[in-house]
Amino acid sequence: MSSILLLSLADVKQTPYYKKYTKSMNLKPDIILIGSITNEKEEFGNIWSVQKKGNRITQIINFRKTLKKILDENKYKLIIILHSQISVICNDILLKNNISIILDIRDYIFEDNKVYSYFQNKIIKKSEMVVISSPGFKNFLPKGKYYICHNTFENYKEYTKIKHNKKDENIIIGQIGYIRFIDINKKLINSFENDRRFILKFIGKGSLDLKKKNVSNLYLKDEFNAEDTLKFYKDLDFVNNYYGYGKKNLKYALSNKLYIAALLNIPIIVSPNTYMEKYVNKYNLGLSIDIEADINLQKDKIYEYYKNLDFEDLKYSCQKMLKDVEIQNHEFKVNIERIITKYENSTY
């Protein structure tokens, strides 16, 4: 049995960043999760799956029961928490056991809630290492040392093979992947409707919810094969990461599309008053727009940006950001390996 235990509130396919831990030192930890593991079973030791029966509260109760039982029966030395909510819903169980903790925080949840923060902060204080996916999270977390693990992905070298050149045709602005924020995207479509300078593409599950008649510059495609992802990105002139603003889960996060755009040397469009805008401005990776403002000015801003874009300058900016990301991820990796080395050889 491993001396290290992973905790997850979702299927491992929904938490691909677990590999940042397991692949650091060919680790095969035990895991408790809500959901299932199919193709990834060989990556783990013991697996305890809490079934997705009943409502979410029932699942959480069963998760707590399983965690308590497993900790009573086994002597783990390190717990890696993959969803920060676990630090609150299992707070008493985690504090009672004399086990080291790594807490991974990937999203804003309810940190403005004093009760939620009170319990989460107890686990932050107990943790040997706290990992965040965006420097922006420091705005709602207590002061302390945080290690940044960016949401980069394994097959990044495939992305760097694609070369982009400026085109004289319509400017293609695209969003690829699971299409969310339907209301915001509908506003975007209305704003760009039949403007011949632009083509809007939404490619992925959920895109058909954006159907609108008599819009000549709108392209929608539902689900697609993952191996075609790069093919679709190759056609884009801008990566669309305009998701609106105001909500804290959007304000402080860094989107996966930031890294994809930088790897592919494609400018990105983001929302104002977000940490994404801060990154884009810091590294000159694209621009922010606000469709609630004068939309003609916003569209002209995009058009002029693209017409004056120097791809060599953009390439330099993208490489600079990716280098900084690499440095931060390396610091994370070194410290994860340091901590895991202390525990991985202890088996029961």
CATH number at residue 190: 3.40.50.2000
Has residue 312 been placed in a domain?
yes
Structural domain includes residue 286: yes
**pLDDT of the residue at 244:** 82
154 lies in some domain: no
Domain identity same for 133 and 197:
no
Torsion of CA 274, 276, 277, 279, to 10 degrees: 130
**141-150 — which CB contacts under 8 Å span 24+ positions?**
141/105, 141/111, 147/328, 147/331, 147/332, 147/335, 148/328, 148/329, 148/331, 148/332, 149/17, 149/20, 149/104, 149/328, 149/329, 149/332, 150/254, 150/259, 150/325, 150/328, 150/329
The pTM is what? 0.90
Same domain, 75 and 188: no
Band of pLDDT at residue 247, cut at 50, 70 and 90: confident
pLDDT in tens, 256-295: 999 999 999 999 999 999 999 999 999 999 999 999 889 9
Question: Reduced to 3 states, what is the DSSP secondary structure of residue 215?
Answer: coil
Terminal CA-CA length for the chain: 6
Cα–Cα distance for residue pair 190/184, rounded to 1 Å: 10
Q: Are residues 23 and 129 in the same domain?
A: yes
- Say if residue 296 is in the same domain as residue 208: yes
Name the amino acid, one letter, at 302: I
Beta bridge partners of 125: none
Same domain, 308 and 183: yes
In this predicted structure, what is the pLDDT of residue 162? 62
Are the C-beta atoms of 203 and 234 separated by less than 8 Å? no
Q: Are residues 139 and 188 in the same domain?
A: no
Are both 73 and 198 inside the same structural domain? Answer: no
The average pLDDT across 302-309 equals 95
Question: What pLDDT is attached to residue 16?
Answer: 87
Q: At 79, which amino acid appears?
A: I
State both tokens at 197. 């300078």
What is the four-CA torsion angle of 152, 153, 155, 158, rounded to 10 degrees? -40
9 and 145 in a single domain? The answer is yes
User: Domain limits at 94?
Assistant: 4-149
CA–CA dist 182, 7 (Å, integer): 31
- Could you tell me if residue 334 is inside a domain? no
Angle at 284 between CA 226 and CA 131, to 5 degrees: 60
Shared-domain flag, residues 16 and 134: yes
Q: Which residue has the tokens 């610091």?
A: 331
Q: Which residues pair with 47 in a beta bridge?
A: 31
- pLDDT at position 70 is 96
Asked if the structure places residue 329 within a domain, the reply is: no
The proportion of the chain whose per-residue pLDDT surpasses 90, expressed as a percent, equals 74
- pLDDT-wise least confident of 91-100, 161-170, 183-192, 260-269: 161-170
Residues 19-78: pLDDT tens digits? 889 887 777 899 999 988 877 888 899 999 998 888 999 999 999 999 999 999 999 999
Number of domains in the chain: 2
- Residue-level pLDDT at 157: 60
In a domain, 345, yes or no: no
144 & 182 share domain: no
Q: What band does 245 get if pLDDT is binned at 50, 70 and 90?
A: confident
Q: Are residues 181 and 139 in the same domain?
A: no
pLDDT in tens, 194-235: 999 999 999 999 999 999 999 999 999 998 888 888 889 989
Whether residue 13 sits in one domain with residue 145? yes
Residue 342 lies in a domain: no
Burial of 215 (0-12, 13-18, 19+ CB in 10 A): middle
98-153: pLDDT as tens digits: 899 999 999 999 998 999 999 999 999 999 999 999 999 999 999 999 999 998 86
